[in-house]
């Protein structure tokens, strides 16, 4: 024991080891936990965006596309964000283990810390509506948009009978529509066209259309859905199901 103490003292003298300043110790410790927090926040971003993508797409379209529900779900999952979530969760685990007292934490406790942290931040981000912003930001990255299924690219497939855009004008038999890419279409409608109760057929309204592409500029609508689940302000007077009633309502509002 005496030899161990003497050798330790000699080592301190030879290597001129000095006590670490308190500010430096606290800074290092703070930096470690800041990194843990940052990784958890990034994991929450992945959860928020994945949740937004999953809740905004129309899951009942598999029948129209003649696909099984399982295949439709398999091809619609946001794998990019799910893989990011796994990556950040593993990274957070490793960073917690690297902290000063991390070796004392069991796997279950560390996993609990990560899950609670991700849940809290993702709840905040979701409540603030940041999911669409995160997705929109990532669309500037190469290859991202081609490998993710979101509301926009799900409904911009006219060759498969899916189209979305903003109404430019409306009559009893047709709509003029500007799609999400800025192209104009003539949408044919009739008494058989099913219009969802929350869809508002009025200039400036954004809608989703199921039907058949006739050519590069015309489309026959079999069903019209609202872009969002809730009705836009001002659309309460036009909730009837028939096309001619809706157009008449629109024209009456325009005269007012």
CATH 3.40.50.300 fits 156-255, yes or no: no
Q: CA 64 to CA 185: how far, in whole Å?
A: 21
Q: pLDDT (tens digit, 9 = 90+) per residue, 133-188?
A: 999 999 989 889 888 999 999 999 999 999 999 999 999 899 999 999 999 999 99
Find out whether 196 and 210 touch, Cβ atoms under 8 Å.
no
Q: CA 57 to CA 150: how far, in whole Å?
A: 6
pLDDT at residue number 10: 61
Other C-beta atoms closer than 10 Å to the C-beta of 8 total: 11
pLDDT at residue number 86: 96
pLDDT at residue number 20: 64
Q: CA 146 to CA 144: how far, in whole Å?
A: 6
pLDDT at residue number 251: 40
pLDDT at residue number 39: 95
Single pTM value for the model? 0.75
pLDDT at residue number 8: 63
Tokens 């799910």 belong to residue: 82
Contacts 24+ apart (CB under 8 A), 30-34: 32/95, 32/98, 32/99, 32/100, 33/99
pLDDT at residue number 254: 36
Q: Is 141 exposed, middle or buried (0-12, 13-18, 19+ CB in 10 A)?
A: exposed
pLDDT at residue number 11: 64
Sequence ranges of the domains in the chain: 21-147, 156-255
pLDDT at residue number 245: 42
Question: What residue ranges of the chain have pLDDT lower than 70?
Answer: 1-6, 8-20, 23, 25, 229-256
pLDDT at residue number 16: 61
Q: CA 246 to CA 86: how far, in whole Å?
A: 48
Q: CA 185 to CA 193: how far, in whole Å?
A: 17
Q: CA 11 to CA 18: how far, in whole Å?
A: 11
pLDDT at residue number 213: 96
């Amino acid at each position: 024991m005496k030899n161990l103490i003497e050798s330790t003292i000699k080592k301190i003298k030879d290597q001129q080891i000095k006590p670490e300043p308190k500010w430096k110790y606290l800074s290092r410790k703070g930096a470690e936990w800041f990194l843990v927090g940052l990784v958890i926040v990034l994991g929450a971003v992945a959860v928020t965006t994945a949740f937004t993508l999953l809740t905004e797409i129309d899951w009942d379209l598999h029948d129209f596309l003649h696909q099984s529900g399982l295949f439709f779900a398999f091809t619609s999952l946001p794998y990019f964000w799910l893989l990011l979530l796994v990556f950040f969760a593993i990274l957070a685990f490793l960073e917690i283990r690297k902290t000063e007292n991390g070796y004392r934490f069991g796997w279950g406790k560390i996993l609990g810390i990560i899950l609670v942290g991700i849940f809290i931040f993702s709840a905040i981000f979701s409540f603030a509506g940041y999911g669409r912003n995160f997705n929109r930001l990532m669309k500037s990255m190469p290859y991202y948009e081609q490998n993710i299924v979101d509301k926009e690219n799900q409904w911009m497939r006219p060759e498969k009978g899916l189209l979305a855009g903003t109404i430019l004008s409306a009559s009893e038999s047709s709509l003029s529509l500007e799609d999400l890419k800025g192209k104009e279409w003539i949408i044919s409608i009739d008494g058989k066209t099913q219009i969802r109760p929350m869809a508002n057929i009025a200039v400036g309204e954004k809608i989703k259309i199921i039907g058949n592409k006739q050519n590069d500029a015309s489309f026959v609508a079999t069903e019209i859905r609202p872009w969002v689940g809730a009705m836009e302000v001002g659309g309460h007077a036009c909730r009837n199901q028939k096309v001619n009633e809706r157009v008449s309502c629109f024209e009456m509002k325009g005269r007012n």
